Amino acid sequence: MDDNKPQRRIRYKGTHPKSFKEKYKELQPENYSEDVAKVMQQGRTPAGMHRSICVDEILAFLKITPGQIGMDATLGYGGHSLEMLKCLTPGGHLYATDVDPFELPRTRDRLAALGFGPEVLTVKKMNFSGIDLVAAEAGPLNFVLADLGVSSMQIDNPERGFSFKIEGPLDLRLNPKSGKSAAALLKNISRLELEVLFMENSDEPHATVISKTITSRIAGGMNLATTTQLQELIADALEFLPANERKEQVKKSCQRCFQALRIAVNDEFGVLDKFLAKLPDALATGGRVAILSFHSGEDRRVKKSFQQLFREGIYSEVAPDPIRPSAEECNTNPRARSAKLRWAIKA
Ligand SMILES: C[S@@+](CC[C@H](N)C(=O)[O-])C[C@H]1O[C@@H](n2cnc3c(N)ncnc32)[C@H](O)[C@@H]1O
């Protein structure tokens, strides 16, 4: 069968597909470039793809040359990898890691179809906290990129449970084949633990009342299993807010609480700390690392680690301030708005 041949249109009610599964064009973006371009012009991201952020800024800093060996710690849709591969060929090699067992093979195949197969690209389904294992295989790395967090494909797929706006299982794992889902975590958490989780991971101002509502409903027999059930519980907890500001506040609290749970189920701070600690030994002398973060807790860790290792003489130079995406990029891709890029150079 020809994999590039567009699949038959999936049948749906009405004039436009409504559910994620019905978006047959967007789920095969490589076969519908005109439709994809139209969606992007409207400042949206097509459901089956991810738009890479700060690509020019990252390439300008990494200064990749042909023959270099590097690592994309967060392969995702492979947008950054593709641009880095173009710079390192001929002769170089890119190692790319991701924990997502569903998107990783699709991205590997997409990049292979573009001419970047195993001779230049080694894709590994593993956590980037194992960067030492990659360096042991690849040798000292000339450059490393980490674009933290989740991809648009993960957010948009209701089955993954990342979005409170669409009904789906309350999962939030980057790798749903390992670890505990958010629903399982909430089943056995105390009110105080949940309050601390919301405060520490996302600075949730209504952490006390939200954690109380969630844990008391579960204790009362509720089977909290879906994203929209959690969204409704958060809305119930914030009933006390004035009507004119409630809707906006509920939305913001949902964003923060979902993010806090995602950070917890994927141990995002823990694996980032391990990655930052192992980075210097994985880099070649003069090797460059760029990290794109979307959360103040991540950015703080990156900044602290870079500055500490700079003071110790392990990095010769570090970003004095984070680089932000241009206003133009933020306008065309709202998901870029919270991005901060930091970099360091190994002494
Ligand atoms: C923002 S996306 C990367 C997008 C990518 N740069 C692109 O251009 O398409 C983040 C990706 O990192 C992956 N990821 C997050 N934490 C990870 C970890 N600790 N180890 C490996 N992959 C991780 C996620 O599964 C997701 O696919």
Instruction: State the number of CA atoms in the 13 A half-sphere of 269 facing the CB.
Output: 16
Query: Residue 163: what pLDDT?
Result: 86
**CB neighbourhood size of 247 (10 A):** 12
pLDDT over 60 (residue 230): yes
Query: Residue 48: what pLDDT?
Result: 72
Whole-number Å distance, alpha carbon 156 to ligand 1 midpoint, is 15
Beta strands 283-293 and 340-346, pairing class: antiparallel
Q: Are 59 and 87 in contact (CB under 8 A)?
A: yes
For residue 42, what pLDDT band results from cuts at 50, 70 and 90? low
Ligand 1, atom 5, residue with closest C-alpha: 76
Distance, CA of 201 to CA of 217 (rounded, Å): 22
Is 341 exposed, middle or buried (CB count within 10 Å of its CB: 0-12, 13-18, 19+)?
A: buried
Query: Residue 3: what pLDDT?
Result: 45
Looking at the CA of residue 271, tell me the nearest atom of ligand 1.
Answer: 19
Is 118 in a helix, a strand, or coil?
coil
Does an H or E element contain 81, and which? Answer: helix 79-88
Instruction: State the number of CA atoms in the 13 A half-sphere of 246 facing the CB.
Output: 12
For residue 165, what pLDDT band results from cuts at 50, 70 and 90? confident
Which of 25-34, 213-222, 338-347 has the weakest average pLDDT?
25-34
For the chain, list the domains and their CATH numbers.
55-152+269-346 (3.40.50.150), 175-265 (1.10.150)
Query: Residue 12: what pLDDT?
Result: 58
For residue 1, what pLDDT band results from cuts at 50, 70 and 90? very low
For residue 129, what pLDDT band results from cuts at 50, 70 and 90? very high
Whole-number Å distance, alpha carbon 275 to ligand 1 midpoint, is 13
Beta strands 121-125 and 93-98, pairing class: parallel
pTM over 0.85: yes
Q: What is the pLDDT of residues 248-265, one digit of tens each?
A: 999 999 999 999 999 999
Looking at the CA of residue 97, tell me the nearest atom of ligand 1.
Answer: 21
Is 293 in a helix, a strand, or coil?
strand
Higher pLDDT, 214 or 27: 214
For residue 16, what pLDDT band results from cuts at 50, 70 and 90? low
Helix axes 79-88, 103-113, angle to 10 degrees: 40
DSSP 57-78: HHHHHH---TT-EEEES--TTS
pLDDT over 80 (residue 6): no
Mutate to test the pocket of ligand 1, among 62, 98, 341 (most ligand atoms within 8 A of CB): 98
Q: Does the beta carbon of 333 sit less than 6 angstroms from any atom of ligand 1? A: no
Query: Residue 2: what pLDDT?
Result: 43
Q: Please, which residues have CB within 8 angstroms of residue 182's CB and are 6 or more apart in sequence?
A: 161, 170, 171, 172, 173, 230, 261, 262, 264, 265
Q: Are 284 and 143 in contact (CB under 8 A)?
A: no
Q: Are 144 and 283 in contact (CB under 8 A)?
A: yes
Q: Does the beta carbon of 158 sit less than 6 angstroms from any atom of ligand 1? A: no
Whole-number Å distance, alpha carbon 198 to ligand 1 midpoint, is 23
